[in-house]
Structure 1
């Protein structure tokens, strides 16, 4: 519609000129009509009228000649993934990295210019954002609704203003938020960093904002979670700011996440997943869903890939050290609880110093180290001493093992091995996080006792006493995740070590495949 003619009657007399024109041309926005009047395109009784707020009188003849819209935008070729299109609107899947509309920092190569290349009728709409009724940040992917006509734009903009359009996002965040939650903190422009938004009281310019979420998934170690986020208001950066404020910033967010979280993904892990609205023309309820691009599940799976922690355990003489040594030959970093204890008992060691205070030097050798034979006899005679020694030494060993694993993971090791004879007896199967995979080494009791007495010179009584302090062999092996048989000759253990490495690789592949299936089921 380029020309509007109307006669002012007694029914519409007294109205503002722009309102009378709006009633005559409901497909046009009042702002566009005001702009045309101010530009001198309106005649009242043949004379120019330049005041949109002028009161109309009965009998007046009003003619508005609208200039033909000339878009300052240049249409561009480019990929568009369309989920819906009709005469009124388009629903598209915006890729991450694409700006929605031109701005001073990005005057071209935007989604709007691609849309203009596919839908030239958008050139009839005013401004640099023709048809855009809401927006997504450049690095946010997902569903975007675009109006193709002015009536549709007005109707959809009004629906957004009335909060009748339902938008839901997928967000990959740091940490483990509650299963359900919300944030109602007001948001405003950051007081010092102008490109950022911030939680800001309404008294200081903040505007009401409401974000709610449901947790859909988390990594086994609970370091990263996937949320379905519903926004009830549409403030700039709303999801990013609210979640960062709660201590759960988005992975990859260059503005609001600390460096360790920022570096977990190539862009902010936010995807507009679901969209529901009433069609402005037909009144039909429209619902759309769109799975995230591959970078989001890849980032989630990468967050699952922690260094594998492996515990080798078993009863005395089973061959724990032999298996650990063969894994070390394969290039795996290893640590031995027995070796850590030896360091603690050595002259100047923490346990030696503590035992000197606890026992008055009775269990120390001349060099200041612990005399293990004397200590063992004292522990067998005094259950309270045994308890104190175990609690103190085990705590020191546990800390050393945790530090070893942490250092190896920081160094990028895919797997690190700790040989821990009393892993289950100490209750450590429920202590470490992430939880290690436990491997038990099996060897029949008679053969184990013979090995101990032959290799260490222990008496049968001493070997039996140490055996009695541990879980029964069957119970310990039943608690292990995997078993390695060491009842054969030494060369058989070499093959078993290689088989164990292959089994660990298979377990890793299966775990990742299972996690991928779980993620894909969420947005299927």
Structure 2
């Protein structure tokens, strides 16, 4: 954290001027300036202090209220004070990965500014460096040993030269793009392509001058390549590895935002998706206290020995915790069984146990109501042929008769309805993304290939004795034998279904036994979640520490 305690003289006044955009409407004044000055190492707390001291103006009038809401289109100014004198060493920890007396490689923690500036005179990486490497104090006054930088909230590997000769050599190597750098980032959403190149010039944002942007004119060349390493089951975020061939300010943050996948936690270039997370995924938003970006690997030729050096550094705990939280996405369970096999009874038991449930039959019924998605598509395809004149809804009895008589028509109707059900189930899982599990009963799940498309994480089957299913349970549903036979003919046989299941509920007795069987299956699903969590932890260990595997 930056403070002024180590400085005694040469007070410097700072002044910023910005125009609030309409998109800033209802933003607190302290949050506006805190975001605008984030990269200058100025905390929101410092901004509050300056506002309370009367250093902020809105349209030329002093405002001392940090929580003042902006209307948009105001002219804003903020003054600050900083003191700059000689550097004072700070006896604080520094994780040194490599040091041969000429070159050092350091694992910079997130939240630590690389070098001092008027807006951040203390508490930087340089202040720690001059304690651990006092010999560098004879170099550049404010950036001794620094040959490249990382954003304040970016963690990971940074190279430091311990003498002026090697500093110049390393600076030249970086300028000539002879240093290979790769980063790990957690981005919003799932890129359509697993591999991609972003070759887009960058410059100052045409409106927001404190930001960088992809620009059509006047920009400097900027090239990045990304690889998707992992995506969370709910599609909320992905882990990507990004290699940069140029070193533009905020390059990865700008390039990933440009292709529609800003970094998680980046409130400058990804403010909109972060705001959505704050509303819909508050637990994840709380974990994203900074942009999820980590300098993972660094390779270069030693300026003296000409030895090829290569380093990797696993990301810090907050980065790992975000990935683990994303992997704990709802366990998507599909429930299947033969017609009249007890699926509705199991759904009721699960609902009583406070487990979110979904019924495909109910989804289709809603879809068939007037102006529903299925109603609209059916009407577009068949006109009013299957519209009930009294209710205006789809006449399900007439439609069923037509489907029994015409196999081609049945397939056409299924092709209309299945995507609607799939969409509804996907939304159901998203709605319950923070639950341990959610169960969707989809009779034709296997026939639709949902298990092979990885639309569910587990498939639970209900196995019911034939005489029970075609007798007692059929009579309770009020379905005649001929109709049940038709339903059966439209599905796989029971053995084929059960062979594809993760686990099976035996519905061969009364409701008490069915409840017991359902409870047993819930324990099986809980064990699967634990196994998945352990497997994911091992996956991350191998991914981030390849030399240890």
Counting only pairs closer than 5 Å after superposition, residues 113-192 of structure 1 correspond to structure 2 as: 113-174=127-188, 175-176=190-191, 178-192=193-207
Q: Give the Cα separation in 2 of the matches to 1:500 and 1:462.
A: 31
Q: 1:94 to 1:477 in 2, by over 3 A?
A: same
Q: Could you list the runs of 5+ residues in structure 1 that have no partner in the other structure? A: 1-69
Q: Give the Cα separation in 1 of the matches to 2:293 and 2:336.
A: 43
Deviation at 1:502, TM superposition (A): 1.7
Q: Give the Cα separation in 1 of the matches to 2:333 and 2:441.
A: 8
Aligned counterpart for 1:415 among listed residues 437, 442, 445: 437
Is 1:143–1:290's contact at 8 Å kept on the other side of the alignment? yes
Counterpart position of 2:326 = 303
Counterpart position of 2:521 = 500
Single out whichever of 185-194 and 323-332 deviates more from structure 2. 185-194
Counterpart position of 1:290 = 313
Counting only pairs closer than 5 Å after superposition, residues 88-127 of structure 1 correspond to structure 2 as: 88-127=102-141
Deviation at 1:472, TM superposition (A): 1.0
Counterpart position of 2:463 = 442
Aligned counterpart for 1:213 among listed residues 210, 214, 226: 226
SS at match of 2:462: strand
Q: Give the Cα separation in 2 of the matches to 1:111 and 1:437.
A: 48
Counterpart position of 1:21 = none
Deviation at 1:155, TM superposition (A): 2.4
Aligned counterpart for 1:330 among listed residues 353, 357, 365: 353
Q: 1:104 to 1:222 in 2, by over 3 A?
A: same
Is 2:232–2:329's contact at 8 Å kept on the other side of the alignment? no
Aligned counterpart for 2:341 among listed residues 296, 318, 337: 318
Q: Give the Cα separation in 2 of the matches to 1:390 and 1:123.
A: 75
Counterpart position of 2:512 = 491
Deviation at 1:518, TM superposition (A): 1.9
Q: Give the Cα separation in 2 of the matches to 1:362 and 1:138.
A: 63
Q: 1:76 to 1:471 in 2, by over 3 A?
A: same
Alignment partner of 1:239 is 2:262: no
Counterpart position of 1:514 = 535
Q: 1:319 to 1:142 in 2, by over 3 A?
A: same
Q: 1:236 to 1:404 in 2, by over 3 A?
A: closer
Deviation at 1:249, TM superposition (A): 1.9
Q: Give the Cα separation in 1 of the matches to 2:402 and 2:320.
A: 57
Single out whichever of 83-92 and 343-352 deviates more from structure 2. 343-352
Single out whichever of 400-409 and 147-156 deviates more from structure 2. 400-409
Single out whichever of 243-252 and 138-147 deviates more from structure 2. 243-252
Deviation at 1:343, TM superposition (A): 4.9
SS at match of 1:142: strand
Counterpart position of 1:271 = 294
SS at match of 2:129: helix
Residues 249-302 of structure 1: CA distance to partner in whole angstroms, max 9, x if unpaired? 222222212432575532212211222233334333332221111222222232
Deviation at 1:451, TM superposition (A): 1.8
Q: 1:500 to 1:358 in 2, by over 3 A?
A: same
* TM-score in terms of structure 2 length: 0.72
Q: Between Structure 1 and Structure 2, whose CA radius of gyration is higher?
A: 1
Residues 290-342 of structure 1: CA distance to partner in whole angstroms, max 9, x if unpaired? 11112222222323333233222111222111111110110012232333455
SS at match of 2:118: coil
Is 1:441–1:485's contact at 8 Å kept on the other side of the alignment? yes
Counterpart position of 1:194 = 209
Is 2:341–2:473's contact at 8 Å kept on the other side of the alignment? no
Is 1:185–1:208's contact at 8 Å kept on the other side of the alignment? yes
SS at match of 2:116: coil
Counterpart position of 1:42 = none
Counterpart position of 1:47 = none
Counting only pairs closer than 5 Å after superposition, residues 43-122 of structure 1 correspond to structure 2 as: 72-122=86-136
SS at match of 1:519: helix
Is 1:112–1:129's contact at 8 Å kept on the other side of the alignment? yes
Q: Give the Cα separation in 2 of the matches to 1:132 and 1:362.
A: 74
Aligned counterpart for 2:240 among listed residues 227, 233, 239: 227
Q: Give the Cα separation in 1 of the matches to 2:222 and 2:413.
A: 57
Q: Give the Cα separation in 1 of the matches to 2:213 and 2:395.
A: 63
Q: Give the Cα separation in 2 of the matches to 1:248 and 1:98.
A: 25
SS at match of 2:197: strand
* TM-score in terms of structure 1 length: 0.75
SS at match of 1:169: strand
Q: Give the Cα separation in 2 of the matches to 1:512 and 1:279.
A: 41
Q: Give the Cα separation in 1 of the matches to 2:455 and 2:88.
A: 54
SS at match of 1:198: strand
Aligned counterpart for 1:424 among listed residues 439, 446, 456: 446
Q: Give the Cα separation in 2 of the matches to 1:408 and 1:107.
A: 47
Residues 125-158 of structure 1: CA distance to partner in whole angstroms, max 9, x if unpaired? 2311111111111011111111222222222223
Q: 1:286 to 1:471 in 2, by over 3 A?
A: closer
Deviation at 1:160, TM superposition (A): 2.3
